[in-house]
């Protein structure tokens, strides 16, 4: 019997390769040097002479709801535990977006509604768990007045070299060393991954007080300010090279209402006409429907509007789930989705005019391959216990006591009734 021998050169190369890739994918757990997620280019190399080898690896973007901090959340023993169940998902995507609905000021104590404040350790845990893009413009941005706005901006500016992005507030220059437009001060970020460039901006239509407005991307829902905002978005889109334009909107809508106002649908249609590809709205604290717009010629999805993704984490399901009435209005504040959007390269970018399929000649350089809701719930471990994000799955439900099994089964049924709508244009 012929016995195979191992080539020493091959063995050496194999060991070096293992060591190299182990080092490049390890997450840095040091809070003073927060991790850069997915720093390795994941583009798959195909050994062929086809021009398709130049195609970029798909992007997976995860959008979350409001990241809040009520007293119940601040009392959590280990903030990392809040995200433990979803960390494997959001650590493996390209970017994870969350709306941070509180200032970050270590000089003030933790504070809850109506004037929120957290310390950097609360947000550090979210970052270590995989959230790396933050919308900062909302009605609680100036809860701590101007000083806390500047403290928040300074905190995020300190993370700019760690792959952490944010938009919505600025210090005169804007956060993360990105320029703001001098006439209006709209901040923005350019997110880069695997050859993709994402233009990201964030603004709010509402504030709770009139302090520090010069440092917030605040555009009230008036005809004058809507016109001003659209001009800014068009200018951004035309000035900065990008593949995808994402805008976060903290909307002037009633809270805890599932139905989307017609006025919002009309307004977001106008924003799409300004070149915005993905609209990610927040403020209602409950999940609302979402819309996927497809090209009428090709059938390919080209843009998405998320009217509200509810809460990622909050203390609004308190002090215990309403087991006897799971359909109650405020129970909807405890369930939502992580919305994962997969974006792929358009094959026509890499073909000659002769090779292109005319019917596939989309206007955009990308195709939205998938829009997938991942259902989550805020689980309270015990009366007065920790509030944790859990994947709302049959396995999770089966692990609960009978009374909670019935509650969560009904909650999953109800939340699944809020769906995406496909619109052909």
Give the global pTM: 0.87
Q: How far apart are CA 279 and CA 309, in angstroms?
A: 11
Which residues 6+ apart lie within 8 Å of 351 measured at CB? Answer: 51
- Provide the pLDDT confidence category of residue 93 given band limits of 50, 70 and 90: very high
Quick: pLDDT tens for 221-254. 999 999 999 999 999 999 999 999 999 999 999 9
Of 201, 210, 269, 263, the closest CA to residue 232 belongs to: 201
pLDDT of residue 353: 66
List of domains in the chain: 70-424 (3.60.21)
Instruction: Fill in the DSSP letter of residue 310.
Output: -
C-alpha distances (whole Å) from 371 to each of 7, 78, 117, 303, 363 are 47, 32, 33, 10, 20
pLDDT of residue 186: 87
pLDDT of residue 185: 66
H helices present in 212-283, as ranges: 223-239, 262-273
pLDDT of residue 43: 35
CB atoms closer than 10 angstroms to residue 327: 11
> Residue 222 has which token pair?
């008036």
For residue 92, pLDDT over 90 is answered with yes
For residue 13, pLDDT over 90 is answered with no
The counts of H helices and E strands in the chain are 10, 15
The rounded percent of the chain whose pLDDT value lies above 70 is 81
Q: How does DSSP assign 106-152, residue by residue?
A: TTS--B-TTS-BB-HHHHHHHHHTT--EEE--STTTTTTHHHHHHHH
Query: Taking the CA atoms of the chain, what radius of gyration do you get in angstroms?
Result: 23
Give the pLDDT mean for 261-265: 98
For residue 57, pLDDT over 90 is answered with yes
pLDDT of residue 37: 63
Mean pLDDT, all residues of the chain: 87
């Amino acid at each position: 019997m012929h016995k195979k021998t191992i080539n020493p050169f091959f063995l050496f190369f194999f060991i070096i390769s293992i060591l190299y890739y182990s080092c490049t994918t390890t997450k840095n757990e040091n809070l003073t040097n927060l991790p850069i997620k997915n720093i390795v280019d994941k583009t798959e190399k195909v050994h062929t002479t086809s021009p398709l080898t130049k195609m970029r690896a798909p992007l997976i973007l995860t959008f979350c709801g409001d990241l809040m901090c009520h007293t119940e959340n601040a009392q959590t023993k280990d903030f990392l535990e809040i995200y433990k169940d979803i960390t494997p998902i959001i650590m493996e995507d390209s970017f994870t977006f969350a709306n941070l609905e509180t200032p970050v000021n270590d000089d003030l104590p933790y504070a809850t509604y109506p004037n929120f404040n957290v310390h950097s350790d609360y947000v550090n845990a979210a970052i270590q768990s995989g959230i790396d893009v933050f919308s900062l413009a909302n009605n609680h941005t100036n809860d701590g007045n101007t000083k806390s706005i500047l403290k928040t901006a300074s905190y995020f500016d300190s993370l700019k070299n760690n792959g952490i992005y944010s938009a919505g507030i600025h210090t005169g220059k804007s956060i993360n060393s990105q320029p703001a437009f001098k006439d209006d001060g709209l901040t923005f970020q350019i997110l880069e991954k695997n050859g993709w460039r994402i233009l990201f901006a964030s603004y709010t239509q509402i504030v709770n007080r009139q302090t520090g407005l010069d440092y917030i991307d605040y555009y009230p829902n008036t005809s004058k300010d809507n016109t001003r905002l659209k001009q800014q978005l068009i200018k951004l889109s035309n000035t900065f090279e990008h593949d995808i334009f994402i805008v976060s909107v903290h909307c002037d809508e009633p809270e805890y209402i599932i139905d989307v106002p017609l006025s919002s649908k009309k307004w977001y249609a106008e924003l799409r006409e300004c070149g915005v590809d993905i609209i990610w709205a927040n403020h209602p604290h409950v999940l609302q429907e979402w819309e996927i717009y497809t090209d009428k010629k090709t059938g390919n999805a080209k843009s998405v509007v998320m009217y509200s993704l509810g809460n990622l984490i909050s203390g609004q399901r308190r002090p215990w789930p309403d087991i006897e009435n799971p359909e109650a209005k405020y129970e909807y504040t405890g369930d939502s989705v992580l919305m994962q959007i997969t974006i792929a390269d358009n094959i026509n970018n890499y073909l000659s005019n002769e090779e292109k399929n005319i019917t596939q000649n989309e206007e955009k350089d990308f195709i939205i391959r998938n829009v997938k809701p991942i259902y989550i719930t805020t689980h309270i471990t015990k009366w007065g216990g920790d509030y944790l994000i859990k994947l709302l799955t049959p396995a999770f439900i089966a692990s609960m006591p009978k009374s909670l099994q019935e509650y969560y089964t009904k909650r999953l049924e109800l939340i699944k009734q809020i769906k995406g709508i496909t619109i052909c244009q």
